Amino acid sequence: MKDYIKGKYKSTIFRSEKGYTIGIVKVLETNIEALQDFLNRTITITGYFFELNENDNYILYGEIVDHPRYGRQFNVLESEKLKPTDKDGIIEFLASDLFPGVGEKMATKIVDALGINALDLILEDHNNLLKIPKFSVKKAKQIHDILSNYENSHQTIVYLCDIGFSSNEALNIYNSYRNRTLDVLNENIYDFTSVDISFLRIDNIRSKLEIKDTDERRIKACIYYIMRNLTYQNGDTYLEFANIYEETQKYLNIGIGESDFVEYLKQLAKENLIYNDSEKYYLKEIFNAEVNISSRIKDLIKIPKKKYKNLKHYLDEIEVVNNIKYNSKQKEAIMSGLTSGISIITGGPGTGKTTIIKAIVELYQILNNLSYEALMEEMALLAPTGRASKRLSESTNVGAKTIHRFLKWHKEANSFEINEYNKDFSKFIIIDEFSMVDINLFDSLLKGLTRDVQIILVGDYNQLPSVGPGMLLKDLIDSNLINTISLDLLYRQGKGSFIPVLADSIKKGDESNILAKANDYCFLECSKNGIRTSVRNICEQLAKKEISLTDLELLAPMYKGLNGIDILNKDLQEVFNPYSDSKEEISVGDTIFRVNDKVIQLVNMPDDNVFNGDIGYIKEINKSSVSASKKNEIVVNYDGNYVTYLPKDFNKIKHAYIISIHKSQGSEFPIVIMPITMDYKKMLYRKLIYTGITRAKSKLIMLGESSAFTYSIENTNEYVRKTALLERLKM
């Protein structure tokens, strides 16, 4: 028999939105010898639960856990609500919060009238409650429905656990499908992938439902899983038949013939999940996005050029006011941006992209005779990340937003409020760091804009492509349909600055400069075994010089390994924010968060105005004993925006003493330190290193193996994404 506890639930210490609970149970019975001392005493339990009611009795199956800080606990893997069987227990149950408006007096009347079988009689027929004088039909039906739903939910969740789902998974499934859960299960268990349960997880459970290897539902679900995985893993917008067939066969291993496989693909297409476009196989939403983007770009190209009589005159005036002299390409970019339906400005660091954006904003305001408020009504400055939008705001003195915030992301609905049915009426859009924008996000943006909007895309196509599918900036430039100005003269860092020179040489595949020494650049040779020590030594020196952490960032390609981000963050926390009795801290897994820690946001949280890649500092840590929420809290300061994290959100932040190069996109830092070693080999390619280097504004320190640096520059064999946007644009 499985190890169990029977006990009365006393109180909840913590409960997450997904149902993870830490609570207290009084142990009434157990078959576990090690818990005999807990009989008639309380024990802490942990696990995922649909609901737990104080003073209700439960049987809990699981295992003993000896927590290093909190002592002996019981980790619950399965649970079952025990119906009260005595008169007092039934009265207590009916008087609980589960039944609003009943109370102890009414509950007593019910049990007096119906006896200890009261619950069964209510479930059998709500009219049994009408035996009680003055009991209304409405009230009787309400109690019956609550009890029925309670029974059904509990039985459903127990059944899901019995066939192999975890309590957390069962809870998520039931919360999504409610009374339809068992119908969906019987019809097609693979539909549960819609609640973030992976195909692989469901496929491991199917045997208990006697679903055969060759079941059509299984095969189609596997094909769709493989297609989503390949699309988002590789960044392709479409897939080829051979690749889908091969990868699906590897997993299913049941020998499906090609003709049968084609039929399964046709069925998925009929279900509107995928699309076959001349043997290019798409996820349906990706196909729609690619087609829509192509169509909208063609429309934007056709918009007649705007004519401003005094454009050149005002451009000359701006040069005088800003004490700047634009070169011919910069002037071309400014004038093209102001007059074209759509234009592209591209170039590496220091070529003046931000300077041009500022000039365009100022000129647009002057030419259209707009107040600042009116300008903000007509123009939107956008970027894909919070850091990039903040930098854009600072450089232009005009409020910029993330694309998600502009489109008003609605977390609960999992959609944007600004869309094809509810458009934004901005007349002029500038999108910075456009290389980071994927096909889904750009499609959503275009749907939310009017047909006659003007758009300027700004970015560096030599940087890393978007995390999501597509390579928009490159495809749009390569189409030769959009007026594109490529900037090549270096300005940003001034005369004698070496960082943009190094970046330019890396872009061209020239490795001759990697060991150069300059005022703003150096490379420190050391072995892979010495990187941690060297990083720590450099940072200790900078700490002694009281270099602000806001001016310093360390970048690396990978999280795991001897020189990975995870282990280096632990080292650097000791350097920049060591343990102190005066600073509150809290453990989350193997991570210790401490007041004053530098942290990075990992996901978009538009409701809190904090986005993926934003960097902040822990201002407060409030323990559950003193916090208003009665839960542990971490308060992070993002440049004056204070965000409070409860335990369910602790996984949305990480230490940011060192961050990934991918996470640094869209950001710039005065000082960048970047270790490089062949330990990172699978991530070492030219675009990645170029992206890391171009994050540095004033000082760049590279350290590690020069051979790894050389390898990175020579390695251009990055995966080339499959997209059809370019050929659609040329149709």
Give residue 372's pLDDT: 92
Provide, rounded to the nearest whole percent, the portion of the chain with pLDDT above 90. Answer: 55
Structure tokens at 233: 């893993």
Q: Write the DSSP assignment of 543-576 as a string of letters.
A: HHTT--GGGEEEEES-SSSTTSHHHHHHHHHHHH
Q: Is the pLDDT of residue 298 over 70?
A: yes
- The Cα 593–Cα 618 span in angstroms is 8
> What confidence score (pLDDT) does residue 710 get?
94
| Per-residue confidence band for 82, with pLDDT thresholds at 50, 70 and 90 | confident
Mean pLDDT, residues 239-266 taken together: 94
Residues of the chain with pLDDT > 70: what percent?
A: 95
Q: Give the chain's length.
A: 731
Among the listed residues 658, 676, 660, the one whose alpha carbon sits nearest the alpha carbon of residue 525? 676
pLDDT band at 97 (very low <50, low <70, confident <90, very high): low
Provide the edge-to-edge strand list for the sheet that holds 239-240.
239-240, 280-283, 274-277
Question: Which residues make Cβ contacts (< 8 Å) with residue 316, sequence separation at least 6?
Answer: none
**Helix H or strand E encompassing 73:** strand 71-82
Which three-class secondary structure state does DSSP give residue 202? helix
First to last CA, the chain: 68
Looking at residue 65, its pLDDT comes to: 84
Q: Is the pLDDT of residue 85 over 90?
A: no
Question: Mean pLDDT across the stretch 665-674?
Answer: 91
pLDDT at position 490 over 80: no
Q: Which long-range contacts (CB under 8 A, 24 or more apart) does 176-183 make?
A: 178/153, 179/149, 179/152, 181/156, 182/156
The per-residue pLDDT for range 430-449, each reduced to its tens digit, is: 999 999 999 999 999 999 99
Task: Give the highest mean pLDDT range of 149-153, 270-274, 352-356.
Answer: 270-274
CA distance 385 to 402: 6
For residues 329 and 487, the answer to whether their CB atoms sit within 8 Å is yes
Contacts of 247 (CB under 8 A, 6+ apart): 226, 230
pLDDT greater at residue 611 or residue 456: 456
Confidence of residue 256 (pLDDT cuts 50, 70, 90): very high
Residue 353 in contact with residue 381, Cβ under 8 Å?
no
Burial class (CB in 10 A: 0-12, 13-18, 19+), 646: middle
Question: Band of the pLDDT at 210, cuts 50, 70, 90?
Answer: confident
Confidence of residue 493 (pLDDT cuts 50, 70, 90): very low
Which range has the worst mean pLDDT, 69-73, 84-88, 355-359? 84-88
Convert the pLDDT of each residue in 650-666 to its tens digit: 989 999 999 999 888 87
Q: Which residues are CB-contacts of 508 (< 8 A; sequence separation ≥ 6)?
A: none
**Which region holds residue 594: left if phi is over 0, alpha if psi is between -120 and 50, else beta?**
beta
Mean per-residue pLDDT for 316-333? 91
Residue 166 is predicted with a pLDDT of 72
- Give residue 167's pLDDT: 63
pTM of the model: 0.76
